[in-house]
Structure 1
Amino acid sequence: MYAPIPALNLLKEFEDSVDDYFAPGFELIAFGEDDGGYPPLSDRIRPFAQANGSGSTYAIWLRDDRADLATLPVLLLGDEGGVHVVARDLPELLRVLASGWSPMCDWDSLDYYDEREEDDGWDPCPENPAFRTWLRDRFGLEAAEDPNAVVRAAGQELREPFAAWIGPLIPDAVGGDGSAGER
């Protein structure tokens, strides 16, 4: 078993069955075995994947004590700084990943690199069509039509509890107005 989250175990099986990337820069890493570069957060996060080719990481935010970890928010831990909410839960992140969305962030912002904007013949990763089929077959989910809107909505919805939690631990992660960094 890869993780205490059935959806991540299924994703690990899928990842092991393909020969190439299925989402830009995304790769599963050892579940919860490090702090994602943010030691003050280590007791409330469980890193699980490389988010992009530059070293940013996705982590489950243990916001509360619910048993189903897949229903907890997902954070992006930036390799150049910055911690941001990117999904309300794991299924939402999978929809964003299937769209070809790739994150870049710093302390003040979360930028969205959407490969679909680069080329009308969009082919983000060789295994993306297989991932989209897998997502539909396993979970009945489709790729997000507007991944940026999904990410922005998650950040807005969780802004206050996120700022209240992270502010005392990493003050740079919270804007001067007490809100989480702008998205």
Structure 2
Amino acid sequence: MINITDFKENLGLSEIPVELEKLIYFQNNISSFENYSQGFGVLIDDKSGLQSWSGDENFLNRLIPFAQANGSGSFYTIWNDASNQPLNQMPIVVFGDEGGVHVVAENILQLLHLLTYDAEIWVDFDQAYFYKDKNSYEEREDLNQYLKWMKGDYRLNQIEEPDELIKTAQEKHKENFEKWFGQYFNED
């Protein structure tokens, strides 16, 4: 169970996006960690995963880790892109446990839509994508409740082509993110 006050204090924020606050409510009261989308769960993060990339305060202060992305250690962050937009309009970036880092959604609502696919994100050096093996796929226990919640609150149905949404987000934000990220970590 995630306490919203503790979640905000941990991140040093007075407010979090309403979409994220509603998701925490959903996870706490209707479902549970990893039970509504494979490998996903909101958590309180101490930024230790980010610190393995860079300890620079400017780097750490612009990234807000908030969720596990898959069962192998990848995680999602909100990237404060310095556009002066509200946090709920900032890009979402996945940091892969194998080393890849990619913009995956234009904002938190798009990430919530991606989660309706109910598959773990795969993150390698060149790309991030969702893969669902039709032969071994097992729907999450609370997926239907999550889909009803998304339809009721956001009028969004289950996504059928999640990688198209990722592609659109990357077209919009990848170049700026890589330029910013490259200041702290050069992949070459």
1:168 aligns with 2:183: yes
Q: What is the CA–CA distance in structure 2 between the aligned matches of 1:140 and 1:35, rounded to whole Å?
A: 36
1:110-125 equivalences in 2 (<5 Å): 110-113=128-131, 115=132, 117-119=133-135, 123-125=138-140
Q: What is the CA–CA distance in structure 2 between the aligned matches of 1:78 and 1:127, rounded to whole Å?
A: 25
- The answer on whether the counterparts of 1:99 and 1:143 sit within 8 Å (CA) in structure 2 is yes
CA drift at 1:110? 2.3
Match of 1:27 in 2: 41
Deviation readout 1:19-61 (Å, 9 max, x if unpaired): 5610010011116x31533334312100000000001000000
Q: Give the gaps of 5 or more residues in structure 2.
A: 9-15
**TM norm structure 1:** 0.83
Question: What RMSD in Å do the two structures reach over aligned CA positions?
Answer: 2.1
Counting matched residue pairs gives 169
Q: Give the gaps of 5 or more residues in structure 1.
A: 177-183
SS at match of 1:36: helix
1:1-183 equivalences in 2 (<5 Å): 1=4, 2-3=7-8, 4-17=16-29, 18-19=31-32, 21-30=35-44, 33-37=46-50, 38-39=53-54, 40=56, 41-64=59-82, 66=84, 68-113=86-131, 115=132, 117-119=133-135, 123-172=138-187
Which shows bigger deviation, 96-105 or 126-135? 96-105
CA drift at 1:82? 1.5
SS at match of 2:157: coil
- The answer on whether the counterparts of 1:35 and 1:47 sit within 8 Å (CA) in structure 2 is no
